């Protein structure tokens, strides 16, 4: 008994929804980054599922590009968050307006 693609797509939809709700509701920047990563992983799951369904490797190769973008986002985002943490004890998304030049 194998799991069909509808299960993978529904899991990806649930993960993406949880990530979107987390970005919209939470104000902590680190939690927002984790929610964005969750949304990117949900997109990767849909790419792999459709790639497997269609028998094409294009979706699986696109996952590598999404992972590179996610890694770059983490590096830049965590650099900004660490810079804010050094100035203040806590940080929220509202504190990022202080980074304006």
Asked whether the whole model's pTM tops 0.85, one would answer no
Q: Which domains does the chain have, with CATH numbers?
A: 5-99 (1.10.287.3510)
pLDDT tens readout for residues 1-29 = 789 999 999 999 999 999 999 999 988 88
pLDDT tens readout for residues 54-95 = 999 998 899 999 999 889 988 888 888 778 778 776 767 776
Length of the chain counted residue by residue:
101
| Residue 2 DSSP code | -
d(CA 59, CA 78): 28
pLDDT tens readout for residues 27-51 = 888 888 889 999 999 999 999 999 9
């Amino acid at each position: 008994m194998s799991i069909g693609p509808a299960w993978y797509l529904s899991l990806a939809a649930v993960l993406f929804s949880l990530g979107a709700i987390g970005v919209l509701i939470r104000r902590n920047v680190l939690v927002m980054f984790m929610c964005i990563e969750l949304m990117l992983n949900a997109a990767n799951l849909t790419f792999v599922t459709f790639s497997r369904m269609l028998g094409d490797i294009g979706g699986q190769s696109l996952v590598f590009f999404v992972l590179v973008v996610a890694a770059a986002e983490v590096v830049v985002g965590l650099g900004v968050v660490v810079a804010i943490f050094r100035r203040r004890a806590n940080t929220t998304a509202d504190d990022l307006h202080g980074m304006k030049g």
